[in-house]
Amino acid sequence: MATRPDQLQAQRSSSQAVKTITAVAVGGSLTVLSGLIGLVLATPLLVVFGPVLVPAAVTIFLILAGFFICGGLGVTASFIFYWMFRYATGKHPIGADQLDRVREKIARASFIFYWMFRYATGKNPIGADQLNRAKEKIADAAKEMKDKAEQFGRQEAEEMKDKAEHFGQQVANEMKDKAEHLEEMKDKAENFGLQAAKEMKDKAENFGQQALQQIKGLRV
């Protein structure tokens, strides 16, 4: 069960919340009401003095804008002149190194294009003679390499031809030797066949004669 001090504290909190809500509602209502009253009172003045106030406001805005723009441009110009002064006096302000590198690249590219233009138009700029001699040397070296390649190709072709002829001759000789050997083998085989046939014939005749003699002996 809640004690009496707790009940008093809860009642105080509730009353405080109600007071706060009431104050906010009343304050908001009064603010809106005062705004409406001010608008109602100021409307005739705006209608009457509008043709004067609007051009005046526009004029003041343009004057202030021009002032700020001029001030900004003046500050920018002052900073640029200060930067140029420091750069000209060799104090290396911020970005001086990057500017030097860009300037060197532009100068190098401009010189290269100018040199190429003079060389293309036949005005012989500095180094044109050395370049022409280098081109001639390269052309001579290319021609020499071409001649050497052709000579080497002819030599290789002749060597391959000689090797092919030599190999063909060797193969022909070997085939000829084998053919002669086969001819000898053929002759030997024929001689062996004739001898074998003769021996078989003689044996057959002897065997026949012996058989006839035996048959005659049996008849007697």
Does the predicted TM-score (pTM) go above 0.85? no
Residue 59 placed within a domain: yes
Residue 184, pLDDT above cutoff 70: yes
Which of the four pLDDT bands, split at 50, 70 and 90, describes residue 2? very low
Q: Mind listing the pLDDT tens digit for each residue in 97-144? A: 887 888 888 888 888 888 888 888 877 777 878 888 888 899 889 999
Residue 101 placed within a domain: yes
Tally of domains in the chain: 2
Residue 68 placed within a domain: yes
Which of the four pLDDT bands, split at 50, 70 and 90, describes residue 1? very low
SS3 sequence of 4-24: HHHHHHHHHHHHHHHHHHHHH
User: How much is the average pLDDT of 167-191?
Assistant: 85
Beta strands in the chain (DSSP E): none
Residue 135 placed within a domain: no
Residue 196 placed within a domain: no
Residue span of the structural domain in which 100 resides: 95-125
Q: Mind listing the pLDDT tens digit for each residue in 61-92? A: 888 888 788 888 888 888 888 888 877 787 77
With H, G, I as helix, E, B as strand and everything else as coil, classify residue 208.
Answer: helix
Our separate counts of H helices and E strands in the chain read: 3, 0
